[in-house]
Amino acid sequence: MDILDIDPLSILPFEKTPTYKPFLAECVEEARKRGYLGEEENQAFKEKHIHIGAAVGHYTYLHHKNTQSHDVAVLSSLLMAFYYCIDDYGFEAKSVTEYGSRLVSGRPQLEKGLNDLATLSAELSSMYDPVTGDLLRMSTQAYVMGNHLEREMCGLRTQWEVNKNAPLFPTIMKTITSAATSLYLLSFPCSAPATSYMQTLPDGICVHDTTADIMSYYKEAIEGEFNRVEQTAQMHNMTGPDMLEELVKNMKLSHKRVIDVLSASDPSGSLVSCYTSTIVGFVVFQALHPRYKIKDFNIFSF
C-alpha cells in the first residue's frame, strides 16, 4: 500500500462507496440479459460470482466508463466472475480439463457456464488490437488449464515438492494459474495500440502476480493452500513471511519499470493513469473483500 501511495485510513467499505452498488446492479443486469444466470440450482455460475467479479471491476476498470472503452468495465467484471467460479472449483474437473481442446475444436463445453465464458472471452478480446486480443484469449484458456494443473500437482496431498533444479517453475505456474495477464491488459483503452504498452507486459504481469501473492497470502495460509509464496520459500529455505518481504521488493522494482516505460511511450500520462488506477484498485479490492482476510488486521478506520 505504501508503494502505491494508498492510505489505509482513507479506504471506504463497499457499502459506503457511492459508485459500487449501481455498478454491481449493472453487472448483474447484464449477466441476466446474456442468460448467464439460470434458474437451475445445480448451475455452477451463480450471482455470488458476479458480486465478486463486479467488486474487482468496480475498483480496477471504472476508468473505462464513459470512454470509447465503456463496455470493458462491465464485461471485464463478468470475466473475473467466471474466473472466481473456476478458482472455487465451481465446475467439474472433467469440464475444466477439456475446456481448451473443446474450444479449439469448436465443440461445445461440458457445462453451460464454460460455453458462456468462451463466448465472453472472444467478445472482449475482439474489442482490442489483434495482438492484445490474442493474449487475452490465451490468458483465459491458460487460466482454466492452470486450475486443472493445480489439481494435478497436488493430487491427494495438500502440497507438492518443489524441485531444487526447477527454480523458475513456481513463477511460471503462478503466471499460468493467475488472472494477471488479463488484469493488466484490460487496464488499457481498446484504442491504444499494443505496441504502446507491450514492452511493459512482463513487469506488469509481475506486479499483478506479486500483489495477488502478497494480498492473498493470509487467506491461503489460513486455508492451508500451497501458494507461490510458500513454494518459493521452500526453494530458498526461507519462511513464508520472510519471502513476502522479498516479493515486496520485487514488486516495487517492477512497478517503477512499468511507469518508466509507459511514461516514455505515452508522455500524456494517459497509459500510466490507466495502469495505476487498475493496480491501486486491485489492491483496494483485495484489502476490502472478506475473502482475503486483510480486514481482520484492523488497519482501516471502519
Q: First CA to last CA across the chain, in angstroms?
A: 17
The pLDDT value given to residue 109: 98
Contact criterion met (CB below 8 Å) for 282 and 5: no
Residue 227 C-alpha cell reads as 501458494
Report the alpha-carbon distance of residue 253 to residue 279 in Å, rounded: 14
Residues of the chain predicted below pLDDT 50: none
pLDDT in the model for residue 158: 62
Residue 123's pLDDT is 97
For residue range 80-134, list pLDDT tens digits in order: 999 999 999 999 999 999 999 999 999 999 999 999 999 999 999 999 999 999 9
Query: Which domains does the chain show, CATH number per domain?
Result: 8-297 (1.10.600.10)
Residue 239 CA to residue 132 CA, distance in Å, equals: 37
Q: What is the DSSP letter of 293?
A: -
Place of cell 437451475: 40
Structure confidence at residue 124 (pLDDT): 97
For residue 156, the model assigns a pLDDT of: 53
**At 10, which amino acid appears?**
S
How many Cβ atoms from other residues are within 10 Å of residue 139's Cβ? 26
Which cell goes with 294? 486483510
- Positive or negative, the CA dihedral 278, 285, 246, 299 is positive
What is the per-residue pLDDT for 155?
A: 67
